[in-house]
């Protein structure tokens, strides 16, 4: 199913909050076992979001690089070596909340993620992403 993906991101660093809104078009597929796949391009980068409804887990893979997957599961800390143009850096994601709701009036799926990011073990930011999928 073709979907519109609206993302509202709030990131707080040292008490200052930035809000970033983005919109993309993508494809939503039912992968079975309560898992859905959303594929889309954002800023010229291919993204695949795997949403595990039963396990309340969201995984995002950019540019088909499984080793650099962002994983969000409530009350779970995930550390990865994130690739940048200047090399790798260690990023930690401490997911505090994962909310996944299916089929609402006017939307196909709503996802809410709350998490903090650390770099080399040092706190960097508090984050919240609201993702709304609507049928095209």
List the chain domain ranges. Answer: 2-135
Strand 107-119: give its sheet, edge to edge: 70-73, 57-62, 45-52, 35-42, 16-32, 2-13, 122-135, 107-119, 87-104, 76-84
User: For the CA atoms of 80, 5, 9, 57, what is the dihedral angle to 10 degrees?
Assistant: -40
* DSSP letter, residue 34: T
- Cα–Cα distance for residue pair 37/26, rounded to 1 Å: 10
Q: What integer pLDDT is reported at residue 47 of this predicted model?
A: 93
Query: What string of pLDDT tens digits covers the 136 residues of the chain?
Result: 999 999 999 999 999 999 999 999 999 999 988 899 999 998 888 999 999 988 899 999 987 777 678 999 999 999 998 878 888 899 999 999 999 987 666 678 999 999 999 999 999 999 999 999 999 9
The answer to whether 102 and 135 are in contact (CB under 8 A) is no
Q: What integer pLDDT is reported at residue 104 of this predicted model?
A: 64
Q: What integer pLDDT is reported at residue 53 of this predicted model?
A: 86
Q: Which CATH architecture has domain 2-135?
A: Beta Barrel (2.40)
Residue that is written with structure tokens 């887990």 in the block: 57
Q: What integer pLDDT is reported at residue 106 of this predicted model?
A: 66
Q: Is this prediction's pTM over 0.85?
A: yes
What residues have CB less than 8 Å from 105, skipping those under 6 apart? none
Residue 103 structure tokens: 């089929």
Helices assigned H by DSSP within 25-112: none
Residue 36 structure tokens: 């859905």
Residue 15 structure tokens: 């008490």
- Cα–Cα distance for residue pair 111/46, rounded to 1 Å: 19
Q: What integer pLDDT is reported at residue 90 of this predicted model?
A: 94
Please state the φ and ψ torsions of residue 77, each to the nearest 5 degrees: -95, 135
């Amino acid at each position: 199913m073709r979907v519109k993906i609206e993302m509202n991101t709030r990131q707080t660093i040292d008490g200052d909050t930035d809000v970033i809104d983005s919109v993309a078009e993508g494809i939503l597929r039912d992968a079975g076992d309560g898992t859905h796949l959303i594929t889309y391009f954002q800023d010229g980068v291919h993204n695949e979001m795997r949403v595990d409804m039963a396990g309340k887990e969201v995984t995002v893979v950019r540019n088909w690089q499984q080793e650099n997957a962002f994983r969000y599961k409530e009350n779970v800390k995930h550390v990865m070596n994130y690739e940048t143009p200047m090399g790798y850096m260690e990023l930690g994601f401490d997911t505090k909340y994962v909310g996944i709701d299916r089929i609402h009036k006017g939307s196909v799926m709503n996802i809410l993620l709350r998490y903090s990011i650390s770099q080399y073990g040092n706190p960097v930011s508090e984050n919240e992403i609201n993702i709304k999928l609507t049928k095209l």
